[in-house]
């Protein structure tokens, strides 16, 4: 069974966010236990499994995502990586593909220059009281907190880009929060550097201490910063050790997430 590791939201290897992609030639899913074991063995933040659907339906492929610990409802970088795998194989019908997922039908479009664009539902960034203990868990003051609805993350704004980059959180404390993950964000210190806002994403509760570049988190970051900055088109830098850029476009109740991807490993799963 073919397995690829693809770095997403980057145009060079060993940066961005690596995802494993397994394109299945099966009429139905393998056992959930097996897919979870594969994801745990690979130990990347996400492993994507996709299988083709019969023609004529609302989607072309069914797609599921697993962290090393659990199956999740939405993942941006592994969707981008799956689209990249299909595009590399020449399997994107008319340059686009529709995925049936737990979060509905998601579309990916490939441009001639290799940029891939995901069409995801926008997530709300609704203000909530700053949870008790979150500042201590992150190790920095929290200016504001936001609920992200079905996305299941806690989004918090901190003082500035330096504060985001300097975070050294108490992961055990974050894991006790009843959220998928915690997104910390601030405006870019210098928008002339090529990005408008920065973020980091911590999700120890689902087996991801820190995710290098989180596409799904940008479905909430984009509405927040587009409203703040007064522009629908922005660039977010996720300031992890690997780093990556996510171009966002707010379009009604949808967010377009764009970036490159690079295959770094192409092999066979010996099972």
Number of other CB atoms surrounding residue 74 within 10 Å:
23
Is the predicted pLDDT of residue 95 greater than 90, yes or no? no
Nearest to 76 by CA among 191, 186, 190, 181: 181
Query: Whole-angstrom Cα distance, residue 214 to residue 236?
Result: 10
pLDDT of the residue at 144: 98
Is the predicted pLDDT of residue 106 greater than 80, yes or no? yes
Residue range 85-98: mean pLDDT, rounded: 87
pLDDT of the residue at 270: 83
Asked if residue 77 lies in contact with residue 201, where contact means CB atoms within 8 angstroms, the answer is no
Tokens of 108: 């990916």
Is the predicted pLDDT of residue 94 greater than 80, yes or no? no
Out of 41, 46, 94, 210, the active site residue is 46
pLDDT of the residue at 91: 80
pLDDT digits (tens, 9 = 90+) for 164-195: 999 999 999 999 999 999 999 999 999 899 99
Residue range 86-107: mean pLDDT, rounded: 91
Tokens of 150: 């079905």
pLDDT digits (tens, 9 = 90+) for 72-88: 999 999 999 999 999 99
Residue range 98-120: mean pLDDT, rounded: 95
Confidence band for 71, pLDDT divided at 50, 70 and 90: very high
Asked if residue 48 lies in contact with residue 65, where contact means CB atoms within 8 angstroms, the answer is yes
Is 46 a known active-site residue? yes
Residue range 19-32: mean pLDDT, rounded: 95
β-pairing, 126-128 vs 116-121, is unpaired
Name the strand (E) or helix (H) holding 18: strand 17-23
Is the predicted pLDDT of residue 93 greater than 80, yes or no? no
Adjacent-strand bridge partners of 147: 126, 154
pLDDT above 70 coverage of the chain, percent: 100
Number of other CB atoms surrounding residue 50 within 10 Å:
25
Averaged pLDDT of the chain: 96
């Amino acid at each position: 069974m073919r397995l690829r590791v693809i770095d997403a939201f980057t145009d060079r290897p060993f940066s961005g966010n690596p995802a494993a992609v397994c394109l299945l030639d099966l009429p139905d899913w393998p056992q959930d236990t097996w897919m979870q074991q594969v994801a745990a063995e690979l130990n990347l933040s996400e492993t994507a499994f996709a299988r083709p659907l019969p023609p004529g339906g609302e989607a072309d492929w069914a797609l599921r995502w697993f962290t090393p610990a659990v199956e999740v409802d939405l993942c941006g970088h592994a969707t981008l990586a799956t689209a990249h795998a299909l595009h590399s194989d020449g399997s994107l019908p008319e340059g686009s593909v529709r995925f049936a997922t737990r979060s509905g039908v998601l579309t990916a479009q490939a441009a001639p220059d290799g940029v891939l664009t995901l069409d995801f539902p926008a997530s709300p960034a609704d203000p909530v009281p700053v949870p008790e203990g979150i500042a201590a868990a992150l190790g920095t003051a929290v200016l504001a907190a936001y609920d992200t609805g079905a996305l299941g993350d806690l989004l918090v704004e901190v003082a500035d880009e330096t504060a985001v980059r300097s975070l050294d959180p108490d992961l055990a404390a974050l894991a006790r929060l009843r959220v998928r993950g915690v997104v910390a964000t601030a405006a870019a210190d210098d928008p002339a550097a090529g990005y408008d806002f920065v973020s980091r994403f911590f999700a120890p509760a689902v087996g991801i201490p820190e995710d290098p570049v989180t596409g799904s988190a940008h479905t909430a970051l984009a509405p927040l910063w587009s409203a703040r900055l007064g522009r629908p088109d922005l660039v977010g830098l996720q300031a992890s050790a690997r780093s990556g850029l996510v171009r966002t476009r707010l379009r009604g109740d949808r967010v377009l997430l764009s970036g490159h991807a690079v295959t770094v490993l192409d092999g066979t799963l010996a099972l």
